[in-house]
């Protein structure tokens, strides 16, 4: 019997298992980024809430000071000045957040490209090692056949049959092992995909909270408290 008659390719099984492992690694990277983004979003929410509280406290303090001053500026002029200052601070904060986000994305892209290159180099090295192993096995098999010819045709045929059967069983066993590892990785990928979906939903909810507290901040900036004289600042 010829070894090429075996229907299942060990190389194909190894490739399938490695591809599943790469998919699992990419999914793990996405989950990590989602978790990091959720942490960043919650941090921004807390900072926005803190900023809103500071603005409201500052406005109350300014209202108390306004009651004690004869005033050199009108209520409208002070409100417009405060608004300009606050808008400037908000624009600066948003600009910094945008720059930080761009830097984070760029770093993530660089890291992803670096990992891809490392994986490609590792796969190339494994491929070379595998081809070298096949070459060595073929060389050993060739030498064994050559040595066996000296012991007679019958013994050679018997030895060939025995070695082929051992090779076939070992080949089959290695394929089964690769299939088992691939199935285990598939289960892990399914679990990670469920985690990814959950993280995406959580991040969406967190972003909604961030949007609400941002609106609270903008409302706090755009709608100052009434003074004790009943006058309301307009912009």
Q: Which domain holds residue 82?
A: 8-68+77-222
Residue 235 maps to a domain: no
Nearest to 161 by CA among 3, 35, 5: 3
**CA triplet 194, 198, 199: central angle to 5 degrees?**
115
d(CA 198, CA 87): 36
Which token pair is 202?
Answer: 């959580």
CB of 13 closer than 8 Å to CB of 182: yes
d(CA 180, CA 193): 20
**CA triplet 226, 68, 64: central angle to 5 degrees?**
40
Let me know how long the chain is: 235
Residue 228 maps to a domain: no
Regions of the chain with pLDDT less than 70:
1-8, 67-79, 101, 145, 147-152, 156, 223-235
Residue 194 maps to a domain: yes
Number of domains the chain is built from: 1
Residue 42 maps to a domain: yes
CA distances from 194 to 20, 31, 41, 207 (A): 16, 10, 21, 20
Residue 229 maps to a domain: no
pLDDT at 234: 34
Residues 6+ apart with CB under 8 A from 105: none
Residue 102 maps to a domain: yes
pLDDT at 4: 47
Residue 1 maps to a domain: no
CB of 82 closer than 8 Å to CB of 62: yes
Residue 234 maps to a domain: no
pTM of the model: 0.42
């Amino acid at each position: 019997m010829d070894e090429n008659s075996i229907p299942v390719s060990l190389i194909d099984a190894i490739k399938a298992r490695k591809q599943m492992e790469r998919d699992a690694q990419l999914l793990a990277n996405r989950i990590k980024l989602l978790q990091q983004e959720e942490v960043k979003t919650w941090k921004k929410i807390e900072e926005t809430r803190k900023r809103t509280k500071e603005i409201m406290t500052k406005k109350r303090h300014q209202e108390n000071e306004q009651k004690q001053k004869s005033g050199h500026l009108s209520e409208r002029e002070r409100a417009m000045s405060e608004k300009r200052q606050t808008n400037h601070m908000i624009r600066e904060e948003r600009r910094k957040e945008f720059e930080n986000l761009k830097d984070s994305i760029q770093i993530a892209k660089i890291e992803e490209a670096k990992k891809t290159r490392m994986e490609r180099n590792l796969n190339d090295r494994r491929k070379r090692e595998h081809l070298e192993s096949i070459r060595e096995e073929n060389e050993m098999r060739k030498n064994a056949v050559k040595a066996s010819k000296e012991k007679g045709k019958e013994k050679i045929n018997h030895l060939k049959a025995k070695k082929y059967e051992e090779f076939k069983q070992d080949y089959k066993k290695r394929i089964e092992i690769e299939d088992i590892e691939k199935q285990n990785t598939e289960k892990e990928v399914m679990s990670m995909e469920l985690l990814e979906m959950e993280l995406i939903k959580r991040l969406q909810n967190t972003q909604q909270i961030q949007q609400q507290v941002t609106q609270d901040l903008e409302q706090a900036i755009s709608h100052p408290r009434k003074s004790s004289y009943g006058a309301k600042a307009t912009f």
